[in-house]
Amino acid sequence: MRSLGHQIVADFYHCDGSTLSDVDYVTDAMLEAARRANCTIVTQTFHHFSPYGVSGAVIVAESHLAIHTWPEYGYAAVDIFTCGDIIQPEEALNYLKEAFGAGQVSTMEMKRGQVDMMGVPAHELRVKPVLCA
């Protein structure tokens, strides 16, 4: 099935709670994950909640990477949505598993924007453009 995007939704369990509550650590890990996936970073935003927990997103030219953490449970919800053939979302996922010390991971993968359902001829298919300077 041809699609415009590839999305990995992951649940990370038994993570290091101290890393999940550190907004700077989470930010750095998400940015590095985007780089390892060969994404073009556009912007990022992260927020630390009181008393704990971090939510944030890295917006990339090819879509986004997002995270929500529950350090008190050692849990993180991760969403990696990418478009294009040169992007490697699995590299981002593997890096984040290691960065947060996930002891158990559950994933669901989806193909987004099924081209066959759009009726777009193969020769007219375009992926998101690369970010212009």
Contact between 37 and 31 under an 8 Å Cβ cutoff? The reply is: no
Domain assignment present for residue 100? The answer is yes
Please pick, among 18, 21, 68, 132, the residue that the annotation labels catalytic: 68
CA-CA distances (angstroms) from residue 15 to 29, 70, 82, 124? Answer: 14, 10, 24, 44
Give residue 86's domain range: 3-117
Please pick, among 47, 83, 123, 132, the residue that the annotation labels catalytic: 83
Active site residue 68: yes
Per-residue pLDDT, averaged over 79-101, amounts to 94
Q: Domain containing 42 — which CATH number? A: 3.60.90.10
Active site residue 3: no
Identify the residue with better confidence: 114 or 75.
75
Contact between 76 and 12 under an 8 Å Cβ cutoff? The reply is: yes
| Count of structural domains, the chain | 1
Q: Is 78 exposed, middle or buried (0-12, 13-18, 19+ CB in 10 A)?
A: buried
Active site residue 39: no
Q: Is the pTM of this model over 0.85?
A: yes
For residues 94 and 84, give the distance between their C-alpha atoms in angstroms, rounded to a whole number. 19
Domain assignment present for residue 129? The answer is no
pLDDT tens digit string along 5-36?
889 999 999 999 999 999 999 999 999 999 99
